Structure 1
Amino acid sequence: MDTLNQYRMENDALGNIMIPSSAYYGPQTQRAVENFPISGIRLPRSFIRTQGIIKASAASANMQLGMLSPEIGKAIIQASEEVIEGKWDMHFVVDVYQAGAGTSQNMNANEVIAKRASEIIGHAQQVHPNDDVNMSQSTNDTFPSALNIATVEAIVQNLLPALLGLYQELQKKADQFMPVLKAGRTHLHDGVPIRLGQEFSGFAATIHAVYLQLEKQLDGLYEIGLGGNAIGTRINLQPEYIPKVIQEVCNRTKLPFRKPANIFAFMQNMNEPIRCMLTLKELAIHLIKITSDLRLLSSGPRTGLAEITLPPVQPGSTIMPGKVNPAILEMTHMVCCQIIGYETAIATAGMASQLEINVMMPVIAHTLLHSIDLLANTIQILITKCISGIQADEEVCKKWMQESLSLITGLSPKLGYDMASQIGLKADEENKTIQQVLQEKGLLTAEISNAIDPNGMV
């Protein structure tokens, strides 16, 4: 094998370096590959896509301002659009855990687009990754802008529709189960009666509240700091560049991005990703609560609560034949544990903002975008393979409700708290229902019977 023909020699400010012949990236990307063989994890397709959007938008703005020739500018736009489409994803090779702030990631995009643009021109004129593709830009303004754009698109296109679907499915179950009376529980012990539909309406409203919160949070993410350049001072920039490049981004995304209220605050901090991740953490906490409740309500089927049944999706044991576990709910819980851990990672990385920039942006980008994808995918599976197929066991619900000692609560206004407590304790000690003890004591009048009727307690 002729290994020499598999590589080409290129150079940068640090000297010569060998690069695979087929690679569209250049020396700075190759150095990052060699310096950071850490995880094998790359920034996701959604981020690479937004890098392409920014490079195409910048080239268009620079052409309009006479900074780029039409030949080079159009070639850069075509190459960038190919990046947007995903044609060159295999050449975006820098590890997530890379040099601070994402300089290597930005140069990966610059080098790939420059080489492809040079091909489009026909190599008659080489397109320079820094002078041409990165014109009017810096890693420090393009990276956080790309993250905000990718985050908004992922939320709008994937997570919000998934959350809306979950809310609607839970609300549908709430309506379906509203006639079903059952025992409520506090501290995992008997509580006063509740409708199964009321329980599910609580689940639905909780998810809807997060949906509205996330929708509202988009407003802050619409701020992108293109044109801030290195530290927000807009060095080497024509004044008309910023409105033009942001308008180009808006045209390509069909979303209302705008310049930040304060460019220096945007450059210095990861405020919006941190806030967004906090909302995802809250969503994870709520999903853990809801899925844990559903696991309890479906526990059994013979030795648990068994008030609802879940659709069976796969065998649950390698040793116990016929066992079926709440697999989808368990998977959801696991994902949510990961999300809660991810929030800590972003919070810690957010603390690394020093002076003019945050150098931990690559890990923040990976963590946030992965979290959105995880939650969107999980929620879709939760809806289709679990929530939509849940059924109520009305007989079991009725049995537990009739045996609940909390029915005694209805007697407090009639017999007083102390007398009612004595009746409840006697029922518990003798393993009898409240109704049986009242009958034995000669207290089961029509009025008392109505007082412990579950229908009157919901």
Structure 2
Amino acid sequence: MTSNSYRREQDTLGEILVPKDAYYGAQTQRAINNFQISNRRFPHEFIKVQAMIKAAAAKANMENELLAKSIGNAIIGASEEVMEGKWDHQFVLDVYQAGAGTSQNMNANEVIANRATELLDDAEKHGRIHPNDHVNMSQSTNDTFHAVIHITAAVIINQKLLPRVKQLHDELKRKSIELMPVMKSGRTHLHDAIPIRMGQEFSGYAETIHEVYQQLERVTDSLYEIGIGGTAIGTRNNIHPDYSKKVIQEISRRTNLPFREPTDMFSYMQNTNAPIRVMQVIKELSIHLIKITSDLRLLASGPRTGLTEISLPGVQPGSTIMPGKVNPAILEMTHMVCCQVIGYETTIATAGVAGQLEINVMMPLIAHTFIESLEIMSNALPTLVTKCISGITANEENCKNFMENSLALVTGISSIVGYDMAAQIGKEADSRNVPIKQVLQERELLTPEIEKALDPNGMV
């Protein structure tokens, strides 16, 4: 690009060239120059909340007579354009950037300041709206960036994740009722166990997800604490006494969520407790989903050489070399998402350890991994439900054959003939590869009482 494509801007380090058509300014440009790491940007949901805080701060500062109404209203107007996504392309910074998110905060301040200046009436354009003095008034990166993490996560959890975890629970519950008549062999250690209803297996899956849903509801409450007004280190320096209350009220109004001030501002500023706690629950959800999806892949294995007790909906061809092969693609995708989330939980825990004194400077890393975890899990769950769980059917004949040939049926007669005799009968049936009943008949032990004890319906 030619020199005519740039403008000269100045910050506390001196002059720097910035693209002429960019709404961001000098500090954003320095961060662009310094951090070409991953080509990953913060998502619109995060940028939207950044702008929401800027608008709420401008409103509070106007009401507290610290900011001229013409400037405050222009900042609110520019912030709302950012919230709508109009200027997402101006938020250009890599997620791996300077600690605490200072660069990301300045990206928002500069874009909003320059756009707000354009929105001023000609009669009001007596000077440029300043990114620090006006847009960042009463704020620090240290309190606002931290708050953006909490607000963005709380919105995603309430609007997406919680409803979708509930959707998964409800579908598993419905499927458990549908499959309750199907009798099958249980398995422990991947070996024969006493009979179970397929619906009982699925009811276990459903309740597991329900318990995680309840935990997620409880732990999300910690995200409602936002330290707006704590400024640099929690001492509320350079703010009006009513500032925090007014900003939090405006954010609660815009999100319809019950945000509040922290119980202790200094604890809030020093730590990233809420993301750590929430991610522990998301990690647990991932662990359970891996268990459930692994079970379903095993139960659907085949179609000729595996268990094939259930059939999954076919969603796409499974091989470029084996014609007609169909793989459990949705279950595999879900497992991958869960692996990523478990890794991200470790990242957030490690970043949490890196807090020092009055601030945790790893907040950009925490923000990126936390929000991406919530997003990919929120997107995976409805795919799992609609493209897999809803369409599962039982292969009753296979289930019946496995159950009737299970060596564990001998458990039913152990209280009649004794543990040792039952074990001998089971071993003989196994060595000869014949049913338990055949051995009992040959030994003239198949009495009505024992035949009743062998009935799988009496074991479930």
* Secondary structure of 1:357 counterpart: coil
Match of 2:452?
450
Shift of the alpha carbon at 1:125? Answer: 2.9
Distance 1:391 1:94 in 2: 48
* Secondary structure of 1:220 counterpart: helix
Match of 2:309?
307
Deviations 1:356-414, CA, capped at 9 Å, x for gaps: 00000001000000001100111111111101100001111000000000001111110
Shift of the alpha carbon at 1:5? Answer: 2.0
* Secondary structure of 1:354 counterpart: coil
Match of 2:380?
378
Match of 2:255?
253
Match of 2:402?
400
Shift of the alpha carbon at 1:3? Answer: 1.3
Pairing 1:133-148 to 2, within 5 Å after superposition: 133-148=135-150
Distance 2:126 2:174 in 1: 63
Match of 2:443?
441
- TM-score, with structure 2 as normaliser: 0.98
Shift of the alpha carbon at 1:162? Answer: 1.0
Distance 2:379 2:221 in 1: 24
Match of 2:117?
118
User: Is 2:418 aligned against 1:429?
Assistant: no
Match of 2:8?
9
Match of 1:352?
354
Distance 1:325 1:248 in 2: 50
Shift of the alpha carbon at 1:319? Answer: 1.2
Shift of the alpha carbon at 1:4? Answer: 1.9
* Secondary structure of 2:325 counterpart: coil
Distance 2:320 2:132 in 1: 58
Pairing 1:401-416 to 2, within 5 Å after superposition: 401-416=403-418
Unaligned ranges ≥5, structure 2: none
Pairing 1:22-101 to 2, within 5 Å after superposition: 22-101=21-100
Equivalent position amino acid for 1:407 in 2: L
* Secondary structure of 2:17 counterpart: strand
Distance 1:130 1:293 in 2: 55
Match of 1:186?
188
Shift of the alpha carbon at 1:340? Answer: 0.8
Match of 2:270?
268
Distance 1:158 1:341 in 2: 21
Equivalent position amino acid for 1:18 in 2: L
Match of 1:165?
167
Deviations 1:112-168, CA, capped at 9 Å, x for gaps: 000010000044431000000000000000011011000000001111111111111
Match of 1:102?
101
User: Is 2:219 aligned against 1:220?
Assistant: no
Equivalent position amino acid for 2:48 in 1: R
Distance 1:125 1:450 in 2: 93
Distance 1:438 1:155 in 2: 58
Shift of the alpha carbon at 1:318? Answer: 1.2
Distance 2:435 2:441 in 1: 10
Distance 1:108 1:212 in 2: 38
Distance 1:271 1:243 in 2: 22
Match of 2:324?
322
Paired residues in the alignment total: 457
* Secondary structure of 2:266 counterpart: helix
Over aligned residue pairs, what C-alpha RMSD do you find? 0.8
Distance 1:254 1:313 in 2: 38
Distance 1:135 1:97 in 2: 26
Identity over aligned residues, as a percent? 65
Match of 1:203?
205
Shift of the alpha carbon at 1:252? Answer: 1.0
* Secondary structure of 2:327 counterpart: coil
Structure 1 runs of 4+ aligned residues shifted over 2 Å read: 122-125
* Secondary structure of 1:193 counterpart: strand
Deviations 1:96-126, CA, capped at 9 Å, x for gaps: 0000000000000000000010000044431
Distance 1:418 1:50 in 2: 68
User: Is 2:293 aligned against 1:291?
Assistant: yes
Deviations 1:32-61, CA, capped at 9 Å, x for gaps: 000001111011111101101100000000
* Secondary structure of 1:125 counterpart: coil
Distance 1:186 1:3 in 2: 71
Match of 1:280?
282
Distance 1:276 1:5 in 2: 49
Q: Give 2:340's match in structure 1, choosing from 316, 338, 341.
A: 338
* Secondary structure of 1:185 counterpart: strand
Distance 1:267 1:82 in 2: 29
Distance 2:169 2:315 in 1: 22
Distance 2:164 2:244 in 1: 34
Distance 2:243 2:336 in 1: 46
Deviations 1:322-375, CA, capped at 9 Å, x for gaps: 111111111111111111111111111111110000000001000000001100
* Secondary structure of 1:212 counterpart: helix
Distance 2:57 2:435 in 1: 76
* Secondary structure of 2:195 counterpart: strand
* Secondary structure of 2:338 counterpart: helix
Equivalent position amino acid for 2:111 in 1: V
Equivalent position amino acid for 1:455 in 2: N
* Secondary structure of 1:200 counterpart: helix
Distance 1:216 1:281 in 2: 15
* Secondary structure of 1:370 counterpart: helix
User: Is 2:234 aligned against 1:240?
Assistant: no
Match of 1:21?
20
